[in-house]
Structure 1
Amino acid sequence: MHRSTLLPENWWDAASEAWAEDAARQDAVTLRAEIDQLRRTLAGRAVIDQACGMVMILAPCRRGPARNLLVDMERQCNASLPDVSSAMIAAWEGEPLPRLMQRALRHALRRLYAEDRGCDSPPAEAGRP
Protein backbone atom coordinates (compact mmCIF):
# COMPACT_ATOMS: atom_id res chain seq x y z
CA MET A 1 0.00 0.00 0.00
CA HIS A 2 1.36 3.32 -1.00
CA ARG A 3 0.58 6.36 1.07
CA SER A 4 0.99 9.95 0.03
CA THR A 5 0.53 13.11 1.98
CA LEU A 6 -0.74 16.25 0.42
CA LEU A 7 0.45 19.47 1.92
CA PRO A 8 -1.52 22.66 1.57
CA GLU A 9 -0.37 24.87 -1.24
CA ASN A 10 0.82 27.69 1.04
CA TRP A 11 2.56 25.38 3.57
CA TRP A 12 6.07 26.41 2.58
CA ASP A 13 5.24 30.10 2.79
CA ALA A 14 3.71 29.69 6.27
CA ALA A 15 6.68 27.62 7.49
CA SER A 16 9.22 30.11 6.17
CA GLU A 17 7.28 33.00 7.73
CA ALA A 18 7.27 31.24 11.11
CA TRP A 19 10.99 30.56 10.82
CA ALA A 20 11.69 34.20 9.91
CA GLU A 21 9.63 35.45 12.87
CA ASP A 22 11.45 33.08 15.23
CA ALA A 23 14.85 34.19 13.87
CA ALA A 24 13.84 37.85 14.28
CA ARG A 25 12.81 37.21 17.91
CA GLN A 26 16.13 35.49 18.61
CA ASP A 27 18.02 38.37 16.97
CA ALA A 28 16.12 40.87 19.11
CA VAL A 29 16.93 38.95 22.31
CA THR A 30 20.61 38.72 21.29
CA LEU A 31 20.75 42.43 20.50
CA ARG A 32 19.12 43.35 23.82
CA ALA A 33 21.68 41.25 25.70
CA GLU A 34 24.52 42.89 23.77
CA ILE A 35 23.15 46.37 24.49
CA ASP A 36 22.89 45.56 28.22
CA GLN A 37 26.48 44.30 28.23
CA LEU A 38 27.71 47.45 26.46
CA ARG A 39 25.87 49.66 28.95
CA ARG A 40 27.49 47.84 31.88
CA THR A 41 30.87 48.11 30.19
CA LEU A 42 30.49 51.85 29.62
CA ALA A 43 29.35 52.42 33.20
CA GLY A 44 32.37 50.46 34.46
CA ARG A 45 34.67 52.39 32.16
CA ALA A 46 33.78 55.71 33.79
CA VAL A 47 34.57 54.30 37.24
CA ILE A 48 37.88 52.87 36.00
CA ASP A 49 38.86 56.20 34.43
CA GLN A 50 38.04 58.05 37.65
CA ALA A 51 40.12 55.61 39.72
CA CYS A 52 43.00 55.91 37.23
CA GLY A 53 42.89 59.68 37.64
CA MET A 54 43.02 59.33 41.40
CA VAL A 55 46.04 57.01 41.21
CA MET A 56 47.75 59.40 38.79
CA ILE A 57 47.40 62.20 41.33
CA LEU A 58 48.23 60.22 44.49
CA ALA A 59 51.18 58.26 43.10
CA PRO A 60 52.49 60.72 40.55
CA CYS A 61 52.55 58.64 37.40
CA ARG A 62 51.13 58.50 33.91
CA ARG A 63 47.93 56.81 32.83
CA GLY A 64 49.53 53.51 31.78
CA PRO A 65 51.22 52.79 35.11
CA ALA A 66 48.08 53.92 36.98
CA ARG A 67 45.93 51.47 35.04
CA ASN A 68 48.55 48.75 35.52
CA LEU A 69 48.38 49.37 39.27
CA LEU A 70 44.61 48.85 39.22
CA VAL A 71 44.97 45.73 37.08
CA ASP A 72 47.60 44.42 39.48
CA MET A 73 45.19 44.96 42.37
CA GLU A 74 42.43 43.27 40.38
CA ARG A 75 44.55 40.15 39.92
CA GLN A 76 45.67 40.02 43.54
CA CYS A 77 42.12 40.44 44.87
CA ASN A 78 40.50 38.19 42.26
CA ALA A 79 37.94 40.93 41.62
CA SER A 80 36.79 42.78 38.55
CA LEU A 81 38.46 46.03 37.53
CA PRO A 82 35.25 48.07 38.03
CA ASP A 83 34.91 46.59 41.55
CA VAL A 84 38.49 47.49 42.46
CA SER A 85 38.01 50.97 40.98
CA SER A 86 34.75 51.47 42.90
CA ALA A 87 36.46 50.46 46.15
CA MET A 88 39.28 52.92 45.47
CA ILE A 89 36.79 55.73 44.82
CA ALA A 90 34.85 54.81 47.98
CA ALA A 91 38.11 54.90 49.95
CA TRP A 92 38.79 58.37 48.58
CA GLU A 93 35.37 59.39 49.86
CA GLY A 94 36.09 58.03 53.36
CA GLU A 95 35.02 54.37 53.29
CA PRO A 96 37.63 51.94 54.50
CA LEU A 97 39.31 49.89 51.79
CA PRO A 98 38.86 46.13 52.39
CA ARG A 99 41.96 44.47 53.92
CA LEU A 100 42.66 42.36 50.86
CA MET A 101 42.59 45.46 48.68
CA GLN A 102 44.78 47.38 51.15
CA ARG A 103 47.38 44.63 50.90
CA ALA A 104 47.07 44.50 47.11
CA LEU A 105 47.43 48.29 46.93
CA ARG A 106 50.61 48.18 49.05
CA HIS A 107 52.12 45.51 46.80
CA ALA A 108 51.07 47.30 43.63
CA LEU A 109 52.52 50.61 44.87
CA ARG A 110 55.79 48.93 45.81
CA ARG A 111 55.97 47.43 42.33
CA LEU A 112 55.15 50.79 40.73
CA TYR A 113 57.84 52.61 42.71
CA ALA A 114 60.38 49.87 42.05
CA GLU A 115 59.72 50.10 38.30
CA ASP A 116 60.00 53.88 38.52
CA ARG A 117 63.43 53.55 40.15
CA GLY A 118 64.47 51.02 37.53
CA CYS A 119 64.72 48.08 39.94
CA ASP A 120 64.01 44.57 38.73
CA SER A 121 61.93 43.64 41.76
CA PRO A 122 60.14 45.55 44.49
CA PRO A 123 61.89 45.90 47.85
CA ALA A 124 60.96 43.28 50.47
CA GLU A 125 59.10 44.68 53.42
CA ALA A 126 60.34 43.35 56.77
CA GLY A 127 57.82 41.22 58.61
CA ARG A 128 55.17 41.27 55.86
CA PRO A 129 54.19 38.33 53.58
Structure 2
Amino acid sequence: MGDAESPQSELEQLRRAMETRPVIDQAHGVLMARYRCPPPTAWSVLVAVSQHTNTKLHKVAAALVESTQGKPLPESLSRALRAALDQPVQGG
Protein backbone atom coordinates (compact mmCIF):
# COMPACT_ATOMS: atom_id res chain seq x y z
CA MET A 1 0.00 0.00 0.00
CA GLY A 2 2.97 2.33 0.40
CA ASP A 3 3.23 3.10 -3.31
CA ALA A 4 -0.49 3.57 -3.88
CA GLU A 5 -1.73 7.14 -3.95
CA SER A 6 -4.85 8.10 -2.11
CA PRO A 7 -7.97 8.52 -4.23
CA GLN A 8 -8.08 12.18 -3.15
CA SER A 9 -4.52 12.77 -4.34
CA GLU A 10 -5.19 11.02 -7.63
CA LEU A 11 -8.36 13.08 -8.14
CA GLU A 12 -6.44 16.30 -7.50
CA GLN A 13 -3.79 15.30 -10.05
CA LEU A 14 -6.49 14.56 -12.64
CA ARG A 15 -8.14 17.93 -11.98
CA ARG A 16 -4.81 19.71 -12.39
CA ALA A 17 -4.13 17.87 -15.65
CA MET A 18 -7.55 18.88 -16.99
CA GLU A 19 -6.87 22.53 -16.08
CA THR A 20 -3.43 22.68 -17.67
CA ARG A 21 -3.97 20.54 -20.76
CA PRO A 22 -5.52 23.25 -22.97
CA VAL A 23 -2.55 25.63 -22.69
CA ILE A 24 -0.14 22.74 -23.26
CA ASP A 25 -2.04 21.78 -26.41
CA GLN A 26 -1.96 25.41 -27.59
CA ALA A 27 1.79 25.65 -27.03
CA HIS A 28 2.26 22.38 -28.89
CA GLY A 29 0.45 23.93 -31.85
CA VAL A 30 2.45 27.16 -31.59
CA LEU A 31 5.69 25.20 -31.85
CA MET A 32 4.43 23.17 -34.81
CA ALA A 33 3.31 26.29 -36.66
CA ARG A 34 6.16 28.64 -35.77
CA TYR A 35 9.00 26.15 -36.28
CA ARG A 36 7.30 23.85 -38.80
CA CYS A 37 8.04 20.77 -36.77
CA PRO A 38 6.03 17.55 -36.51
CA PRO A 39 3.97 16.83 -33.39
CA PRO A 40 6.49 14.48 -31.72
CA THR A 41 9.27 17.04 -32.13
CA ALA A 42 7.11 19.84 -30.73
CA TRP A 43 6.31 17.68 -27.71
CA SER A 44 9.99 16.81 -27.19
CA VAL A 45 10.90 20.49 -27.36
CA LEU A 46 8.28 21.41 -24.74
CA VAL A 47 9.50 18.69 -22.40
CA ALA A 48 13.17 19.58 -22.94
CA VAL A 49 12.57 23.27 -22.19
CA SER A 50 10.63 22.35 -19.07
CA GLN A 51 13.33 19.99 -17.84
CA HIS A 52 16.31 22.19 -18.68
CA THR A 53 14.82 25.25 -16.99
CA ASN A 54 13.26 23.37 -14.08
CA THR A 55 9.93 24.98 -14.99
CA LYS A 56 6.59 23.20 -14.86
CA LEU A 57 5.43 22.18 -18.32
CA HIS A 58 2.22 24.20 -18.08
CA LYS A 59 4.20 27.33 -17.19
CA VAL A 60 6.49 26.86 -20.21
CA ALA A 61 3.39 26.35 -22.34
CA ALA A 62 1.69 29.47 -20.97
CA ALA A 63 4.78 31.57 -21.70
CA LEU A 64 4.94 30.27 -25.28
CA VAL A 65 1.27 31.01 -25.85
CA GLU A 66 1.67 34.49 -24.34
CA SER A 67 4.59 35.11 -26.72
CA THR A 68 2.11 34.94 -29.60
CA GLN A 69 0.36 37.95 -28.04
CA GLY A 70 3.53 40.06 -27.96
CA LYS A 71 4.73 39.22 -24.46
CA PRO A 72 8.44 38.40 -24.58
CA LEU A 73 9.52 34.90 -23.70
CA PRO A 74 11.71 34.91 -20.57
CA GLU A 75 15.38 34.70 -21.54
CA SER A 76 15.94 31.37 -19.76
CA LEU A 77 13.07 29.79 -21.69
CA SER A 78 14.21 31.39 -24.93
CA ARG A 79 17.73 29.97 -24.53
CA ALA A 80 16.40 26.51 -23.67
CA LEU A 81 13.99 26.67 -26.63
CA ARG A 82 16.79 27.51 -29.05
CA ALA A 83 18.93 24.70 -27.63
CA ALA A 84 16.07 22.18 -27.85
CA LEU A 85 15.28 23.16 -31.44
CA ASP A 86 18.97 22.74 -32.37
CA GLN A 87 19.03 19.14 -31.08
CA PRO A 88 18.73 16.31 -33.59
CA VAL A 89 15.37 14.52 -33.54
CA GLN A 90 15.46 11.60 -31.11
CA GLY A 91 13.79 8.27 -31.74
CA GLY A 92 11.44 7.72 -34.55
Where on the TM-score scale, by shorter chain, does this alignment land: which range? 0.7 to 0.9
1:65-109: CA deviation from partner (whole Å, max 9, x where unpaired): 000011111111111111110110111111111110011111112
CA distance in 2, matches of 1:97, 1:106: 12
Equivalent position to 2:83, from 88, 99, 107: 107
CA distance in 1, matches of 2:33, 2:25: 13
Shift of 1:37: 2.1
CA distance in 2, matches of 1:55, 1:89: 9
TM-score normalised per structure 1: 0.60
The structure showing larger relative contact order (alpha-carbon pairs under 8 Å, at least 6 residues apart) is: 2
CA distance in 1, matches of 2:18, 2:64: 18
Is 1:81 aligned with 2:57?
yes
CA distance in 1, matches of 2:45, 2:8: 34
1:20-58: CA deviation from partner (whole Å, max 9, x where unpaired): xxxxxxxxxx54443332111112111111100110111
- Aligned residue-pair number: 85
Instruction: Please list every run of 5 or more consecutive structure 2 residues that lacks an aligned counterpart in the other structure.
Output: 1-5
Instruction: Please list every run of 5 or more consecutive structure 1 residues that lacks an aligned counterpart in the other structure.
Output: 1-29, 116-129
CA distance in 1, matches of 2:40, 2:19: 20
Question: Which structure would you say has the larger Rg?
Answer: 1
Is 1:94 aligned with 2:70?
yes
Q: Secondary structure at the match of 2:70?
A: coil
CA distance in 1, matches of 2:82, 2:13: 32
Is 1:57 aligned with 2:27?
no
CA distance in 2, matches of 1:72, 1:32: 30
TM-score normalised per structure 2: 0.81
CA distance in 1, matches of 2:9, 2:44: 30
